[in-house]
Amino acid sequence: MKSIVFLGTNKSGSSYEGIKAAKRLGYETILLTNRTVFVEERECNLEIDDVRIGNMSDTDEIFSAVNDLIVEGKEIDCFISFLDEYAFLAAMLTNIICSTPLTYEPLRIMTDKILTRSYLSGKRYNPFFKVLSSPELITDEVNGLTDLFPLILKAPQSNGSKDVLLVEDIWQFQKGVKQLCRKDPEMPILVEEYLEGPQFLIEVVVNNSIVTIAAIVEQEVTKGERFIITGYSICPEMTVEQLAGLKETVFSIIEDFELRNGTCHLEMKATDKGWKLIEINPRMAGGAMNRMIEEAFGYNLAEQTIKLYAGLEPNFTKVHENAVYTHYLIMGTIGKLLKVSGCDSAKQQAGVIKVFTKAENGQMVTPPRSMGQRYGYVLAAADTKDQAKECAINGAQQIQFYLQPI
């Protein structure tokens, strides 16, 4: 039986739906992970045939586990990961061991925010940036930035809005730098200009140098302690000129990265100076994205990604076109979760397709400091963007989180 090896996964969202897709395609699914929960709760993860526990931060240990699979006679069609930290390694293993010509080097660059900005330096879509490489020189370096506030501070490997800070003056700048340096005093810090304008997520698949934009998703950003995406809309409203400019810019970025076979998603803003790249990630987006795209167009992006990695032809024929909106659930206060109510009522609201909550009773919940601290979502579909959004929010209003204050 042919196998697909997954490097890491979450318990839900696009990464786990990739495993489900591989199972539907008839593959044996093998998971390499450091999370023992996938062994302890095997009855909840029936789509995973084989779990191998190891230190996923040790590349040599991963290579050893891969060698064990080969020695055991596993017929591996591809290695794949829907997680940032393993996407490059999975593509490289697929290229070398399975002989599928994935272009993995661009994925390594995309994993590092500083490498990405430096690689794209001078491109019209690349915003102003500066790298703070030495904490001792920060005072001197900030003097040249005082006229550019507000600014964004980022750690090189930040994802899901972790370690991404908005600073509006010198005091906030210095505080933000100290906050990031506490995690790693030797870590360089990326400074970027803050961009105004509507923000979009673009899912891209490249097959034999042919670029397919699998979805364009408008994002609603909530600014608190971090930038948190709380709304996603497939069926974005933009002019013909905006759409043409977006596609042209996306194609330019993919060409500049020399990505010939692979997947990624971009986050971009429509600014008064044209389309600007917020970030690019070496995988499809997580969370509800795969389900949103399937409800909008009828194809499963995780499944098409599996096909690409396995050397098969992905298919992006639209079965239908629906407006889809996903509203994410976040907390306004910190506390211990006592119970969640209203999920059944939310499911019964017009247009609602899926209601998902991940917080468990007794868990400490907080206002979001990363995307991982969104505690569920309501996904809805309708004929128009506004209708889909209204349906999702109506569903979300039925859900109540009961907290014990601390």
Tell me, what's the pLDDT at 23? Answer: 98
Taking 80 as the threshold, does the pLDDT of residue 211 lie above it?
A: yes
As a whole number of angstroms, the distance between CA 173 and CA 187 comes to 16
Taking 90 as the threshold, does the pLDDT of residue 144 lie above it?
A: no
More confident residue, 137 or 318: 318
Tell me, what's the pLDDT at 187? Answer: 86
Phi-psi region of 44 (alpha: psi -120 to 50; beta: other; left: phi over 0): alpha
**Which tokens go with 142?**
């900030």
**Which tokens go with 138?**
């920060």
Taking 80 as the threshold, does the pLDDT of residue 404 lie above it?
A: yes
DSSP run (H or E) holding 88: helix 84-97
Average pLDDT, rounded, for the chain:
94
Taking 80 as the threshold, does the pLDDT of residue 175 lie above it?
A: yes
Contacts of 72 (CB under 8 A, 6+ apart): none
Taking 70 as the threshold, does the pLDDT of residue 136 lie above it?
A: no
pLDDT in tens, 47-71: 999 999 999 999 999 999 999 999 9
* Confidence label for 143 from pLDDT (cuts 50, 70 and 90): confident
In the predicted model, what is the mean pLDDT of residues 385-399? Answer: 97
In the predicted model, what is the mean pLDDT of residues 373-402? Answer: 97
Taking 70 as the threshold, does the pLDDT of residue 118 lie above it?
A: yes
Q: 107 burial class (0-12, 13-18, 19+ CB within 10 angstroms)?
A: buried
In the predicted model, what is the mean pLDDT of residues 240-266? Answer: 97
The two beta strands, 50-53 and 28-33, are parallel
Least confident residue range of 41-45, 144-148, 328-332:
144-148
- DSSP 8-state assignment for residue 12: S
As a whole number of angstroms, the distance between CA 214 and CA 340 comes to 35
pTM of the model: 0.95
Taking 80 as the threshold, does the pLDDT of residue 138 lie above it?
A: no
- CA nearest neighbour of 391 among 402, 400, 380, 383: 380
Tell me, what's the pLDDT at 247? Answer: 97
**What are the C-alpha distances in Å from 210 to residues 1, 213, 258, 284?**
31, 10, 12, 17
Taking 80 as the threshold, does the pLDDT of residue 236 lie above it?
A: no
CA dihedral 67, 71, 73, 76 (to 10 degrees): 10
* Confidence label for 161 from pLDDT (cuts 50, 70 and 90): low
